[in-house]
Structure 1
Amino acid sequence: MDTDGSRSARAALVAALDVVGLAPSERFDRIVRIAREVFDVPLSYINLLDDTLLHTLTQNIAGEPTSGPVEWSFCQLTVQRPGPTVVRDTLDDPRTVHLPGVTSRGIRFYAGVPLTMPGELTIGSLCLMDVRPREFSPQDEAALIDLGRWTEQALAKGLQHDRLLEVVEALTPPPVHVPGWTLTGLSVPYGDLSGDVHDWTVADDAVTVTLADIMGKEQPAALLAAGLRAALRQHEDLTPVAAVAAVAPRMTEDLGRASAFATLFHSRLTPSTGRLDFVDAGHGLVVHLHADGTSEIRRSRDLPLGLHPQGVPFRPGSLVLEPGDALLVASDGALDLGDGTIDTLTDIGRTLRRAPSTSAFLETVRLRAAEHAEDDVTVLVLARDAA
């Protein structure tokens, strides 16, 4: 039951998170983007509630309201119970038939999961909406719960900025020489230590390149990062999709015990052809910089390790780096170097293009991260020499 006391405590915690009213954040936009694709719905929102108002952190349509009375919202139902709230047809449910979303926007389907912070205080919801009635299976509910966990982790970062991450330092891969290519990277911790992990290995005519971001708390995250790095190295002779499939069951088990998950970009380059095969598990922070000056952001359509449904194969991806092309991969802390949106990744790419060398670019990133970042920042550059 939502009492006056719980509403006041919720409002205080929402204020402490300091995310309401800010510019769109890629940390949250990425979650609802994946939710829309996974469930094939047109609308998905991350909403927070204070005493009287609902605030959405993720606009789906330009110009739509970002706040409104709690009593007008579907979210008021979701925060009343611990599990998912599913309304398969809003016109058949007396709780929703008179809501403005139904009468004015034509919303016919709703599914939401509550978002809970430390202390078991519910502060909002992650929800899906559609303009047609639809079914929602137990497997769908489980997947929505997992996405809610991811959202809670993203929100909780705002409460952890003043603490030192008690993690062991991720191993930094040694420099490698690949004729015709530049492969380099940098990790800047928020505090003394970093929770990100990046790695590369060279074998025959193949280069394996990895960047992972372990979402979790304190030392378990670092231990999981080291374990993931070691597990992938054991399977470096496999294709990326086969390697990730091989390590996913055990990593999912370990991540589940630690209440954590990992976004992962794992790839294999054939230097002679420029072909890059990859798996992107919930990462989605990859930009392909073409030699002609254009760029393309590669989006993820899979969930992170620890949230990805068991038995569902990861989707293989591929691209070709032509002479003069470069690939830039970053952890989500790099978004703090700009306005927090995905456009920051494009801006970092422009900085790389303008830099006199990759080492000068990395030094620029290091300085900006030290000044602006509120999270670990890792960037990885894979560049093919011009013809």
Structure 2
Amino acid sequence: MTFDTPTPESPVERTGLMDSPPEERFDRITRLARELFDVDYALVNIVDTDEVYTKSQPEGPRFGRSPREAVFCGETVKQDGLLEVDDATADERFRDIASVTEFGMRFYAGFPLRTDDGDAVGTLCLLDSDARSLSDAQRRSLEQFGRWAQAEVRQSEADASAPAAPADPAAAAGPATGREKRGSADGVGLASLAIPHGVVSGDSSGWQQVGGRVVVTLADVMGKGEAAGAVADALLGALQARRDMDPVQAMLSVEDEARADGRYRDVFATVFHAVVDAASGTVDFVDAGHGLTLVLHADGTSERLDSRNLPLGLRPADVTWEPGRVRVGRGDLLVSVSDGALDAYDSTLESLRMIGDDLRAAADTGGFFDELALKVSTHEVDDDVTAVVLSVH
């Protein structure tokens, strides 16, 4: 009798990303990169032996799978670092590939994405129909974007390789359990929900009243467990301690402190940090790669507070923080969530709109949190879930 030896999974297979559906945690990287670098396309591609799968692109018809020889990325994964092609029509390596001859791409810059074992399994890349070159500052920024995308790839590999949790009949009988906090300050109501994926959450949120202002923070550290939880709590405490600073000053100060502290080396976090003036309704904020905050106005309209900043810990020193401002009035709601909350819906940015609809439909924030916890229980959610709601009375 003979037994077949199982074929070991390839590095790409171990990530579980080939042919996987769109996810906001990747899409926000490509969306922000496309805008900041002003290119036709910013993509996260998964590169297998023979084919390349476009995991993320901001908008437009999805590329799906492409033959490896038809695109630039098959060469990028052979590189130790950034591959830049200023004009592919003048480069004998690429001038005859389909990306150039059929789709008219001339400029390309790609960063290889590696697993923890060092295997190149994908790329973060920029493409444009005009020939161009990156400045030194842009190259540094693209490398930081690449680190962000690489961290998400490694998290996917860790999630795919984690043993499935045993079925828990008790858990199936009701919604996921989470910690709720509530408070109010000068006509502003505040509430938060935290549902950790494990014992300790890598998300953290908090607020405090300072005179006529309310300081609100949500931090989502890459990773899960005790290490990520400790960093999240430290970042939250550091930002909240800088309650007398405007959001940009607070982020700069915390960033300087983190760079000098070895515990934060190679760690980064998406952050939403805001100061609300209760009297005027002005919300000044800095969004560090988060992009998951929605203002629901009493008149039925809504607006997403998007991000033009890299996560805290990835910003190159020569790139300034870009602040934002929005106004809220009586009856308005502001909700900010970690990306784990999106997994309770469809994992894309459309989930944020659905979260807003659920919040409007709920009788109060408690009812909204109950509905969100139930969705977390009935969907495959492999991340911490945090939500913060601010209501203006």
TM-score between both structures, scaled by the size of structure 1 = 0.90
Match of 1:380 in 2: 388
In the alignment, the residues of structure 2 paired with residue 202 and residue 175 of structure 1 have an alpha-carbon distance, to the nearest angstrom, of 13
The Cα shift of 1:46 comes to 0.5
Q: Is the contact made by 2:22 and 2:347 (CA closer than 8 Å) also made in structure 1?
A: yes
Higher mean alpha-carbon deviation, 144-153 vs 193-202, is at 144-153
Match of 2:176 in 1: none
Match of 1:288 in 2: 295
Match of 1:240 in 2: 247
Quick check: 1:341 aligned with 2:348? yes
Q: Quick one: which of 268, 271, 274 aligns to 1:264? A: 271
Aligned length: 370
CA RMSD after TM alignment: 2.1
Q: Is the contact made by 1:173 and 1:200 (CA closer than 8 Å) also made in structure 2?
A: no
In the alignment, the residues of structure 1 paired with residue 277 and residue 77 of structure 2 have an alpha-carbon distance, to the nearest angstrom, of 50
Quick check: 1:177 aligned with 2:184? yes
Match of 1:224 in 2: 231
Quick check: 1:303 aligned with 2:310? yes
Quick check: 1:354 aligned with 2:352? no
In the alignment, the residues of structure 2 paired with residue 95 and residue 338 of structure 1 have an alpha-carbon distance, to the nearest angstrom, of 43
Quick check: 1:62 aligned with 2:60? yes
Change (3 A) 1:173 1:185: closer
In the alignment, the residues of structure 2 paired with residue 217 and residue 338 of structure 1 have an alpha-carbon distance, to the nearest angstrom, of 20
Higher mean alpha-carbon deviation, 328-337 vs 238-247, is at 238-247
In the alignment, the residues of structure 2 paired with residue 180 and residue 319 of structure 1 have an alpha-carbon distance, to the nearest angstrom, of 17
The Cα shift of 1:64 comes to 4.3
Match of 1:4 in 2: none
Q: Which deviations, in whole Å up to 9, do the C-alpha atoms of 1:302-332 show, x marking residues without a partner?
A: 1011111114221111111111111110001
Higher mean alpha-carbon deviation, 177-186 vs 299-308, is at 177-186
Match of 2:84 in 1: 86
In the alignment, the residues of structure 1 paired with residue 240 and residue 60 of structure 2 have an alpha-carbon distance, to the nearest angstrom, of 44
Tell me the amino acid that sits aligned with residue 388 of structure 2: L
Match of 2:14 in 1: 16
Q: Is the contact made by 1:216 and 1:259 (CA closer than 8 Å) also made in structure 2?
A: no
The Cα shift of 1:182 comes to 1.6
In the alignment, the residues of structure 2 paired with residue 357 and residue 262 of structure 1 have an alpha-carbon distance, to the nearest angstrom, of 30
Match of 2:109 in 1: 111
In the alignment, the residues of structure 2 paired with residue 255 and residue 19 of structure 1 have an alpha-carbon distance, to the nearest angstrom, of 32
Match of 1:169 in 2: none
Q: Is the contact made by 2:268 and 2:312 (CA closer than 8 Å) also made in structure 1?
A: yes
SS of the residue corresponding to residue 110 of structure 2 reads strand
In the alignment, the residues of structure 2 paired with residue 361 and residue 115 of structure 1 have an alpha-carbon distance, to the nearest angstrom, of 38
Q: Which deviations, in whole Å up to 9, do the C-alpha atoms of 1:126-154 show, x marking residues without a partner?
A: 10011111122333222212111111111
The gaps in structure 2 that reach 5 residues or longer are 1-6, 165-178
In the alignment, the residues of structure 2 paired with residue 256 and residue 143 of structure 1 have an alpha-carbon distance, to the nearest angstrom, of 23
Tell me the amino acid that sits aligned with residue 31 of structure 1: I
SS of the residue corresponding to residue 183 of structure 2 reads coil
Match of 1:71 in 2: 69
In the alignment, the residues of structure 1 paired with residue 148 and residue 335 of structure 2 have an alpha-carbon distance, to the nearest angstrom, of 24
Tell me the amino acid that sits aligned with residue 356 of structure 1: A
In the alignment, the residues of structure 2 paired with residue 20 and residue 357 of structure 1 have an alpha-carbon distance, to the nearest angstrom, of 40
Q: Is the contact made by 1:59 and 1:66 (CA closer than 8 Å) also made in structure 2?
A: no
Tell me the amino acid that sits aligned with residue 381 of structure 1: V
Q: Percent identity?
A: 38
Quick check: 1:277 aligned with 2:284? yes
The gaps in structure 1 that reach 5 residues or longer are 1-7, 165-171
Change (3 A) 1:361 1:61: closer
Quick check: 1:314 aligned with 2:346? no
Q: Which deviations, in whole Å up to 9, do the C-alpha atoms of 1:195-240 show, x marking residues without a partner?
A: 1010101111000000010114654322222221222122101111
Q: Quick one: which of 201, 205, 212 aligns to 2:208? A: 201
Q: Which deviations, in whole Å up to 9, do the C-alpha atoms of 1:31-59 show, x marking residues without a partner?
A: 00111122121211101122211100123
The Cα shift of 1:296 comes to 1.5
Match of 2:332 in 1: 325
Q: Is the contact made by 2:43 and 2:55 (CA closer than 8 Å) also made in structure 1?
A: yes
The Cα shift of 1:297 comes to 1.5
Match of 2:38 in 1: 40
Q: Which deviations, in whole Å up to 9, do the C-alpha atoms of 1:271-307 show, x marking residues without a partner?
A: 1121111000110001111112222212101101111
TM-score between both structures, scaled by the size of structure 2 = 0.89
